[in-house]
Amino acid sequence: MNENSHYPFNQVRSNRYTFISTGKRPIEKVVEFKFTGWGKIINMGFGDVRPDGTIDDKAISNNGPRLEPGFMRGL
């Protein structure tokens, strides 16, 4: 687990990362990258992890942000 980020995450495979959204309730999220085969174009998928391990990329969890004071300062 990488603890040096705003959200600790796990690298499940070389192209798949998971983390827990810690807003109103804990929700396991996933980010997955896949090469498209068209030059250097990569597709990025994001969503909630379902109980069977598949990705729900249409989920609207409205879990709220986990922002710390000053997070947006300087952007």
- State the residue range of the domain holding 47: 9-56
The residue that leads in pLDDT, 36 or 7, is: 36
In a domain, 46, yes or no: yes
Residue 43 forms part of a structural domain: yes
Q: Is residue 21 part of a domain?
A: yes
Torsion, CA 10, CA 42, CA 27, CA 59, rounded to 10: -170
Inside any domain, residue 4: no
Prediction pTM value? 0.65
Work out the pLDDT band at 75, boundaries 50, 70, 90: very low
Task: List pLDDT tens digits, range 37-74.
Answer: 998 898 999 999 999 988 899 998 888 766 555 544 55
* CB 7 within 8 Å of CB 23: no
| Residue 6 burial by Cβ neighbours in a 10 Å radius (0-12, 13-18, 19+) | exposed
Q: Is residue 61 in a domain? A: no
Confidence of residue 15 (pLDDT cuts 50, 70, 90): confident
Task: Answer yes or no: is 34 within a domain.
Answer: yes
Per the listing, tokens 């174009």 go with 41
Q: Is residue 20 part of a domain?
A: yes
Q: Is residue 51 part of a domain?
A: yes
Q: How far apart are CA 9 and CA 20, in angstroms?
A: 8
Write down the pLDDT at residue 20: 87
* Total number of domains in the chain: 1
